[in-house]
């Protein structure tokens, strides 16, 4: 008996690496509320002051935080096909400021915005949730998105 050890190695080669750019980032630039957000961020504090200055100062200090704000974040996942469908697709949940963009796309279809959300305060976290609701002994999963702001 001989101890013969055969090693197989798989090598993956990559060329022309490209940076991943989330789809939601570009959509946020063209979102109807994006201009209002940019103008609000650029508005000088002196314009916010009232005649006595106190209300404006309080208003401008509300925007100050000791925590570094997260600029943007995104999550990707494989989409779940409905019964009878044979479609594999990807979903992206993109968060920037007070906007959340939910987009879907597949190999045969380009990525497109499915839903966009805008809230009054910055979104702290957005995540995927699946709820199982049991009705008449048949369990059905309902997919939704959860926003914490």
pLDDT tens digits, one per residue of 124-148: 888 887 777 766 666 666 666 665 5
Task: Over range 22-47, report the average pLDDT.
Answer: 64
Radius of gyration of the chain (CA): 23
Question: What is Dmax (Cα atoms) for the chain?
Answer: 96
**pTM for this prediction:** 0.57
Residue 4: predicted pLDDT: 65
Rounded CA-CA distance 92/95 in Å is 10
* Residue 94 predicted with pLDDT over 90: yes
Among 20-24, 79-83, 129-133, the range with the most confident prediction by mean pLDDT is: 20-24
Report CA-CA distances (Å) from 140 to 84, 102, 122, 126, 134.
Answer: 15, 22, 33, 23, 7
* Residue 92 predicted with pLDDT over 80: yes
91 or 128, which is more confident? 91
Q: Which tokens in the block code for residue 96?
A: 């920037």
């Amino acid at each position: 008996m001989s101890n013969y050890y055969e090693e197989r190695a798989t090598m993956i080669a990559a060329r022309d690496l490209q940076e991943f750019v989330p789809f939601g980032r570009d959509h946020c630039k063209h979102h109807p509320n994006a201009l209002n957000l940019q103008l609000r961020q650029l508005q000088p504090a002196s314009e916010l002051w009232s005649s006595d200055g106190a209300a404006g100062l309080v208003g401008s200090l509300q925007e100050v935080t000791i925590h570094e704000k997260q600029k943007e974040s995104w999550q990707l996942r494989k989409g779940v096909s409905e019964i009878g469908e044979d479609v594999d697709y990807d979903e992206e949940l993109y968060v920037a400021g007070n906007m959340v963009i939910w987009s879907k796309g597949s190999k045969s279809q380009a990525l497109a915005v499915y839903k966009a959300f805008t809230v009054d305060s910055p979104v702290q976290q957005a995540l995927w949730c699946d709820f199982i609701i049991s009705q008449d002994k048949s369990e059905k999963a309902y997919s939704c998105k959860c926003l914490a702001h």
